Amino acid sequence: MPELPEVETMVRGIRAHVTHRPIGDLVACANRCKPINIKPTLARLRKRVVGKTFQAVRRLGKRVILDLSDGSSLAIEPRMTGLVLLADPPDVEHLRLRWDFDGPGQYASFWFWDRRGLGTVTLFDQAALKARFALGTFGRDALEMTADHWVESCHKSAREIKVLLLDQKTVAGIGNLYASEILHRAGIHPGVPAKSLTPDALERLTQSVQFVLNKAIEYEGSTLGDGTYRNALNQSGRYQNEHRVYMRAGEMCSVCGDEEIVRIVQAQRSTFYCPMCQPESKGSGRKSGSDRRGFKPSNRKTGR
């Protein structure tokens, strides 16, 4: 589940505590779980990182990138249930890797925890990292997408806009949860072909992406009903309390108050939207019942 806001929260949570500290050891945590994908092998990875320091911690799409002092970079991809943690893991049964630090510091180690075991840990040299995440093979970060970038990406694609938002080769960082939230705030029906979006709709999309993702980062991500996602200190995110449509099928829309949230399936993923706020009109050039920013007019109830 971790998407851009959750991974950005992970990065910000560990950055100050792991940078410029010598790595004393890297060990596999004892468990009976399916092994995660580690490249190179754990033994070779250990030889490569022990004695080095993390010079920087950053995010690429939905990946945590730790740049090492020898110029290589470690990429941690959480996938469905992965977490990077400094303390108090949700349980010890799903701890996968532990990096131990030499010398003083508030935290002696940090961990990679993964309940389902779909996460990956990969070491790249500089050339390989650049090639793997070059534009064209990997999308521009969602927070770096300008209106012009959205025009370019959408106008050459006949795919439904929700499906395009999930394509990491087009735009990096948006997943199923935030795609639904972004489109609701923008007043765009998820089934509209991307290339049919009007200039006004594309402007709303640009603003909505920035608003939703930055607000979710401010709230340290979304912790859903299964409680899996946690920040680096094993605390819940808070943005789930701001969700307008995601996992709210059958509930009345909190913006228009006139229609129930509907669930459909697109590209084998659940999509949630409001038929009133997101009318199925060509190009989503207009909205019904809401103002263009996704808020109710002042003479009607706003809801949550």
pTM of the model: 0.91
Please tell me the distance from the alpha carbon of residue 64 to that of residue 67, in angstroms, as a whole number: 10
Last residue of a domain, one of 70, 105, 132: 132
**174 and 252 share one domain:** yes
**35 and 151 share one domain:** no
Please tell me the distance from the alpha carbon of residue 143 to that of residue 5, in angstroms, as a whole number: 10
**43 and 91 share one domain:** yes
User: Residue 293: its pLDDT value, please?
Assistant: 38
Residue pair 25/100 in contact (Cβ under 8 Å)? The answer is yes
Residue 289 inside a domain? The answer is: no
**CATH number for 53:** 3.20.190.10
**272 and 184 share one domain:** yes
Tokens of 43: 């033994």
Residue 245 inside a domain? The answer is: yes
Last residue of a domain, one of 87, 115, 132: 132
Residue 290 inside a domain? The answer is: no
Could you give the number of structural domains in the chain?
2
**122 and 146 share one domain:** no
Residue 293 inside a domain? The answer is: no
Q: Which residues are catalytic?
A: 2-3, 62, 269
User: Residue 208: its pLDDT value, please?
Assistant: 98
User: Residue 36: its pLDDT value, please?
Assistant: 96
Sign of the C-alpha dihedral computed for residues 10, 16, 19 and 21 taken in this order:
negative
User: Residue 226: its pLDDT value, please?
Assistant: 85
User: Residue 284: its pLDDT value, please?
Assistant: 67
User: Residue 32 belongs to what domain range?
Assistant: 4-132
Which amino acid is located at 223 in the chain?
T
**151 and 58 share one domain:** no
Instruction: Write out the H or E segment, with its range, that includes residue 39.
Output: strand 37-39
Residue 299 inside a domain? The answer is: no
Tokens 């029906």 belong to 189
User: Residue 168: its pLDDT value, please?
Assistant: 97
Residue 86 inside a domain? The answer is: yes
Own/partner contacts of 161-164, CB < 8 Å, gap of 24 or more, are 161/188, 161/189, 161/190, 161/191, 161/192, 161/193, 161/194, 161/197, 161/205, 162/190, 162/191, 162/266, 162/267, 162/271, 163/266, 163/267, 164/194
- List, run by run, the mean pLDDT of 10-residue segments along the chain (304 residues): 96 97 96 94 97 98 98 97 94 96 95 96 97 94 97 96 98 98 98 97 98 98 92 96 97 97 96 96 58 35 33
Bond into 40 cis (ω within 30):
yes
User: Residue 227: its pLDDT value, please?
Assistant: 84
**173 and 224 share one domain:** yes
**267 and 183 share one domain:** yes
